Amino acid sequence: MKSTNSNNRSREENNGHTVTSAGSEHEAGNDGTLQSSQLMQLFLTELKDIYWAEHALATAFPKMIESVTSQELVAVLTYHLTETAAQIGRLEEVFKSIGKPVSGLKCAAMEGLLKEAETIMEDCKKGAMLDAGIIVAAQKIEHYEIASYGSLRQFAVTLGLDEAASLFEITLDEEKAANDRLTSIAVESVNPEASEKEII
């Protein structure tokens, strides 16, 4: 890890305030100080993690969509698959905006969440039960994404990466909306239907 003390000092000389003051006052590290900060390193790691995770999700989603019965659920998942493609594009824009090459880093959490979705598809009876199970799996995924994008947006704000912060904000709103739509389907139709069906 690089010494941040000397970086802080040179930043103070260049910009007249320190890196420990409120994040919004900072420029995007043109002098290289924020670029080499510990937060910047963590930001990059998390960015690569979610980039990998979104790709894994885009690959796994079609099978999940095929497995469900509720047409409403098919529609919501299909719509979110389209959004996921745009989110991947937005992440590539973030890499570009900070002058870093696009790359992914295996996300152990997403791998585990997708394994859970696989197990649900194997174990649940097709119909309302499987639909309810896929909603659980998808909502766990959305929550993971909400946590990831919320943190990345906040990191970007502190680092003065305004373009990245706005891009994360758009995606964060999409993830929250997807989660809310899944809640509605579960509450209004899928869960009550599954509660009326006996295990045979």
What residue number has its CB nearest to Fe ion? 107
Question: Which option in Fe ion, Zn ion, none does residue 43 bind, with CB closer than 5 to 8 A by kind?
Answer: none
Task: Indicate whether 107 belongs to the interface with Fe ion (CB under 5 A).
Answer: yes
87 binds, among Zn ion, Fe ion, none (CB under 5 to 8 A by kind): Fe ion
Q: How far is the CB of 48 from Zn ion (least distance, A)?
A: 12
Q: Which does 158 bind (CB under 5 to 8 A by kind): Fe ion, Zn ion, none?
A: none
Residue 131 in contact with Fe ion, rule: CB under 5 A: no
Are 53 and 109 contacting, i.e. CB atoms less than 8 angstroms apart? Answer: yes
Q: Which of residues 71-110 bind Zn ion (CB under 5 A)?
A: none
Q: Quick check: helix, strand or coil at residue 162?
A: helix
d(CA 143, CA 69): 23
* Cα distance between residue 172 and residue 37, in whole Å: 25
Under 8 Å between Cβ of 26 and 60: no
**Residue 142 C-beta: closest distance to Fe ion, Å:** 5
- Residue 139, Ramachandran bin (φ over 0: left; ψ between -120 and 50: alpha; else beta): alpha
144 touches Zn ion (CB under 5 A): yes
Contact 134, 73 (CB under 8 A): yes
Residue 109 near Fe ion by CB under 5 A: yes
7 binds Fe ion (CB under 5 A): no
Chain residues binding Zn ion by CB under 5 A are 53, 144-145
